[in-house]
Structure 1
């Protein structure tokens, strides 16, 4: 194949760079959570504009993200506002599908914290989305060439109108969209509702299990806490009268091992007084 002359090659390079700078995530000052794809102070990043990495390693063999159950992060999953527009994070990634335009982001954000507190690495298979819970796993298909990748969503963005997902440099490379800066894509969630161990639940367990979180005479306070915890841990809650007090309990869970694991997790996340309550199944 004949090589383009120097002027043609230079022009193509400049056009590609301009497309990239427009296609990558914006960095609005008002974004919450410190995301790589759109927040922080004006002087937060060491460079003004996004760009391709120089002397990038070969990312053609970077494997897809491996979908698995992960509890949603305590950071990056609250409602937030960017550029005067408010966003509500979805409670679950189950059955999520979306089509639209993908962009990608590179060196400007490399090494900075994402919205859920991790560090953005443009050489891994990650992505940013405005409303999917963090982290989530999605399959991304380039409509124009049918190339696919699986990425782990751990950031917020993109905040340009019409863009639905911002991909890492590695993911964009695998989808063959670096030169254009954007691509028409379909994204579909790969969702795990419970830990893998939950899939093997003994049908012989005769009990239901609740996690008692707190007790108080202030019913209103416990109701507010119950709603918050129910959303955070994707469980129901109840208030059980006990004399002059109410007991806040999450559940039911149908397997003691699962309930014990969740109790241990909650104790580590700020509820050290929690304990299990066992009731026979009706």
Structure 2
């Protein structure tokens, strides 16, 4: 389990590490910023059986490699004080979450891809049963990730393993800027020599220059804003690249999609 937890560890300062340990609740130490569970709670009986909601079957399973990007929502007052699927009482201010198939109770790391904020959450309930959402956050978790006002947001969810008998939720990172994750596939080849077609990733086209510049800023130094005139007026395209290899460009497009730009396209001319 230690190797699995260490693969996604964030490097924090000493003071941040001590604060995180203090907030993690009982039953775990912290290593590299992520909790190391020394007294894992048993999986709650019955929660790993296949079940059906609204005509759709869900099959819970232990999945050490679970790492998904998708939409998150949150729930609060209407469920506060009610039992969760584990039998624990839902506290909307605690750092918890609901997931359709991961073991209960478990731990996940959730990162808001719009701002880089990350938290570790105790998964103690089932849901959300909406096709385009992969996790339901408590109100407290949504506040930490700055998703409360929007209601939904694009996140990355990584399974960390079994939860401790108590607690497990902890704040990891509270940056207000774009996610700092380095995406090496987005860097153009050094001193490229183009013998044929040049490939670019178009990370959106916007009527507002500032919007385009903000998106480009999120994507790093390899992103530029290109102004074009159309029959409907000016558009500002955010371009990443170039590459002289279509496969490399496609990998970069996937990286842009993972950063929350849903309409990224591969184009063959600037």
TM-score (norm 2): 0.46
Larger strand proportion, structure 1 or 2?
2
Work out which of the two has the higher radius of gyration on C-alpha atoms and give 1 or 2. 1
TM-score (norm 1): 0.44
